[in-house]
Chain A
């Protein structure tokens, strides 16, 4: 959902805000933030094959309007011609590691055209990553419009 223009900068800025956690793989946070970057790039390019590798098969994605999507439904929406994102900027992003989980929170702004109508959306997201089968996979993602 979020392909960022300033992701490199944001990745750098996210690290200082995450305090050390108990039992943490010291590289977990860095790895997951890099995966967020990869997600953004893949989504921008509608590269659903690369995106698929980032998600657990049972991932649950909740869109900004509350729509619940499975992995297949989310990837299908990314691929859809009706959706033409023009620009999506991650305004802020920070991660926190909890041993076998990393939670990434942030704010994004998305501009584009959907079903022929232009849109601008600003929302807050949370992505939950879990360490499974020797790699980090996104197991949940949700977006919420910022209404104020």
Chain B
């Protein structure tokens, strides 16, 4: 329950400041940063329902091994019992906003257990977000493995 509470607090931090969409660019950057953190938290806790809110129905998700997934496939991979993430942390992140488009670039480190074996992976990623009304949704996410 507390995980859900934390998630909604993160979403609240990402909410528009005045409800009218007139949010200055640096505030939009902060919203995207909050959404990125909410994503990590939701993925770490395998909260596919929370992730569902962050992702556009048209999502293109490219895994570090080149696998292309749509939204349903990605959420199924998050739910998979063979994957147990222990920690997902952004080592770095930068956000650029182009009006109703935002691009987040960063490096994320993930520790966990997959098929019974522990793993650690570092990935450089690009996430593309678009604004729909007062909300931002991720339309594309791609990761490329980088050395540990």
Say whether A associates with B: yes
Question: A37: CB under 8 A from chain B?
Answer: no
Chain A positions within 8 Å of B143 at CB level: 144
- The complex places the Cα of A47 from the Cα of B16 at a distance, in Å, of 43
Q: Give the shortest distance, in Å, between A96 (CB) and chain B (any CB).
A: 6
Task: Report the nearest B residue to A103, measured CB to CB.
Answer: B140
Q: Do A60 and B126 form a contact, CB below 8 Å, given A140-B105, A144-B143, A145-B66?
A: yes
CB-defined interface of B126-148 with A at 8 Å, one 1/0 digit per residue? 10101000000001101111110
Range for the number of chain B residues in contact with chain A: 20 to 34
Q: Is the CB of B105 within 8 A of A144?
A: no
Are A66 and B144 closer than 8 Å at their CB atoms? Answer: yes
**Known contacts A68-B105, A139-B101, A105 near B140 by CB under 8 Å:** yes
Query: How far is it, in angstroms, between the C-alpha of A148 and the C-alpha of B64 when the chains are bound?
Result: 11
Given known pairs A100-B98, A128-B103, the reply for A62 and B124 (CB within 8 Å) is yes
Name, among A56, A101, A124, A148, the residue most crowded by chain B CB atoms within 10 Å (CB to CB): A101
The CA of A58 and the CA of B124, in the complex, are separated in Å by 17
Q: Given the complex, which residues of A lie within 8 Å of B67, measured CB to CB?
A: 148
Q: A124-B66, A126-B62 are in contact. Are A100 and B99 (CB under 8 A)?
A: yes
Asked if A101 meets B128 with Cβ closer than 8 Å, knowing A130-B99, A140-B105, A148-B67, the reply is yes
In the bound complex, CA of A97 to CA of B17 (Å): 27
Interface residue tally on A, bucketed by range: 20 to 34
In the complex, the answer to whether A142 meets B142 with C-beta atoms within 8 Å is yes
**Complex formed: what's the CA distance from A51 to B75 in Å?**
37
Chain B residues with CB below 8 A from A148, complex form: 65-67
B96 part of interface (Cβ distance < 8 Å): yes
Roughly how many angstroms separate A68 CA and B126 CA in the complex, as a whole number? 11
Q: Is A132 an interface residue (CB 8 A)?
A: yes
Contact A124 B68 (CB under 8 A): yes
Q: A44 vs B65: C-alpha distance in the bound complex, in angstroms?
A: 27
Q: Measuring CB to CB, which residues of chain B are less than 8 angstroms from any residue of chain A? A: 56, 58, 60, 62-68, 94, 96, 98-101, 103, 105, 123-126, 128, 130, 139-140, 142-147
Task: Across the A-B interface, give the 6 residue pairs with the lowest CB-CB distance, nearest first.
Answer: A146-B66, A66-B146, A130-B98, A101-B101, A147-B65, A98-B130
